[in-house]
């Protein structure tokens, strides 16, 4: 085994069967109250709350423990406006040209369309990037293993943390505004925004 620094796993508390079941049921009940929403209040959310949610996301498992995700938290009104404009451009193309009829039929009961005003109303937007490759300590470019799956799990952890904090959330739509963040100066090098079909 390579000489890699590790942290010992803390000893979990000893639980009786009743306590273990109660905790499992309470967590399941908490997550079952989660809803995807498209209406937000502009009520400020402290940066520290967002950071705590993202720390939970960063604790997710990943292929070879490479953690190929990058979270970018956006509160700047001008950047949110630019993201909305780019998202709506891509969404219009999706709804009018690229989406298959079956997908549009599945979306119809939800009433979604290309208009995304919530991207400016929500106090924070969280963009999630993934890496297909990344730098090693010696400067080499190395492959990331299971980057899509790993990066899909990490926001789930953040969502689970946001739920008891009372924060509504909505995963990205089918067409991520891939050009918006780089154009606005955001996003790490070598990282990509996922989109349908990736």
Q: What is the pLDDT of residue 35?
A: 79
Mean pLDDT by 10 residues, the chain (198 residues): 71 89 91 80 91 92 91 92 89 91 92 90 90 81 90 87 71 54 56 49
Q: What is the pLDDT of residue 139?
A: 78
Q: What is the pLDDT of residue 129?
A: 86
- CATH number listed for the domain at residues 50-192: 3.40.109.10
> For residue 2, what are the CA distances in angstroms to 6, 132, 141, 144?
11, 24, 19, 19
Q: Give the separation between CA 174 and CA 92, rounded to whole angstroms.
A: 11
Q: What is the pLDDT of residue 196?
A: 43
Q: Give the separation between CA 180 and CA 81, rounded to whole angstroms.
A: 10
Q: What is the pLDDT of residue 2?
A: 56
Q: Which helix (H) or strand (E) holds 142?
A: strand 141-143
Cβ partners under 8 Å of residue 43, min gap 6: 123
Domain boundaries, the chain: 50-192
For the chain, count helices (H), then strands (E): 7, 5
Q: Give the separation between CA 18 and CA 34, rounded to whole angstroms.
A: 25
Q: Give the separation between CA 43 and CA 41, rounded to whole angstroms.
A: 5
């Amino acid at each position: 085994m390579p000489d890699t620094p590790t942290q010992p796993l803390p000893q979990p508390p000893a639980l009786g069967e009743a306590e273990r079941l109660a905790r499992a049921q309470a967590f399941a009940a908490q997550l079952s109250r989660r809803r995807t929403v498209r209406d937000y209040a502009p009520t400020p959310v402290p940066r520290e709350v967002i950071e705590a949610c993202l720390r939970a996301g960063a604790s997710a498992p990943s292929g070879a423990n490479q953690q190929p995700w990058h979270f970018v938290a956006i509160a700047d009104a001008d950047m949110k406006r630019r993201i909305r404009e780019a998202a709506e451009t891509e969404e219009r193309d999706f709804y009018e040209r690229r989406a298959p009829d079956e997908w549009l039929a599945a979306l119809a009961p939800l009433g979604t369309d290309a208009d995304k005003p919530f991207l400016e109303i929500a106090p924070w937007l969280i963009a999630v990037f993934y890496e297909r490759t990344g730098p090693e300590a010696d400067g080499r470019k190395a492959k990331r293993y299971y980057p899509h799956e790993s990066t899909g799990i990490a926001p789930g952890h953040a969502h689970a943390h946001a739920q008891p904090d009372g924060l509504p959330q909505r995963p990205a739509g089918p067409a991520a505004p891939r050009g918006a963040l780089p154009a606005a100066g955001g996003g790490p090098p070598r990282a990509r925004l996922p989109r349908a079909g990736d």
